[in-house]
Amino acid sequence: MHTLAELAQVAGAQLRGDAATPIDGVGTLAAARPGQIGFLANPKYRQLLAGTQASAVILGAEDAGACPVACLIADNPHLAYARVAALFDPAAGRQQGVHARACVDAAAEVADDAWIGPMAVIEAGAVIGPRVQVGPGCVVGARTTIGADSRLVANVTVLHDCVLGERVLVHPGAVIGADGFGLANDRGCWVKVPQLGRVVIGNDVEIGVNTAVDRGALEDTVLADGVKLDNLIQIAHNVRVGA
């Protein structure tokens, strides 16, 4: 539960109405109930504003005069909504400790306030940073580093010698650091070329469900700060995405 004043501060928005109004969730203009906050970021939904049952609405200055309830007036209503909605996201909760059914090598380093979930495997030399969340069934390979506040949701595999920055979010089924597709031809027979590079991922990167990021052949595969990948994408070896 948050007050409207608290949400205004988080959103960086101007508050109009009762600052003490309690808000316990978010919803659309059409479906929100009393106690929730709605948002108007697309003018095609403007006709729903007059009839909303929400206790408050996030919107732009051009729509504030038509709002029948309290409102948060933002320069960028969609961005303001994203910041407010994050407060009500159940997936954002953090745990601490190592689950009894996790397997953590004695030579791995795990921050005291990190969480290693059931059936997760942390190999020798891996470094799990502060407040990192390693979900059920994940594998973090040898000598891989996971930066502060990152989250591997579930069944994520990050193979050896990879580097993930801070606040990286990796969704279920993603594989980071598997071999790139490298083959040499020996008179009609194919010989595997070892893939000796790494995957290096910057800060604030998000990787979608079942996405593969292959390790480099010699140089690294790189995802720069702020890169966002959707589901079912392959990033081949030696690729650089972002600045």
For the annotated catalytic residues, the residue numbers are: 237
The C-alpha atoms of residue 160 and residue 169 are separated, in whole angstroms, by 18
Q: Three-state secondary structure along 59-76?
A: ECHHHHCCCCCEEEECCC
**Segment 156-160 long-range contacts (CB within 8 Å, at least 24 positions apart):** 159/215, 160/123
| Concatenated DSSP letters of 168-224 | -EE-TT-EEEEPP--EEEETTEEEEPP----EEE-SS-EE-TT-EEEPPSSSPEEE-
The C-alpha atoms of residue 49 and residue 44 are separated, in whole angstroms, by 11
The H or E element spanning position 11 is helix 4-11
**Segment 125-132 long-range contacts (CB within 8 Å, at least 24 positions apart):** 129/166, 131/94
Residues 174, 158 contacting (CB under 8 angstroms) = no
Residues in Cβ contact with 231 at an 8 Å cutoff, skipping those fewer than 6 apart: 171, 208, 209, 210, 211
Residues 154, 137 contacting (CB under 8 angstroms) = yes
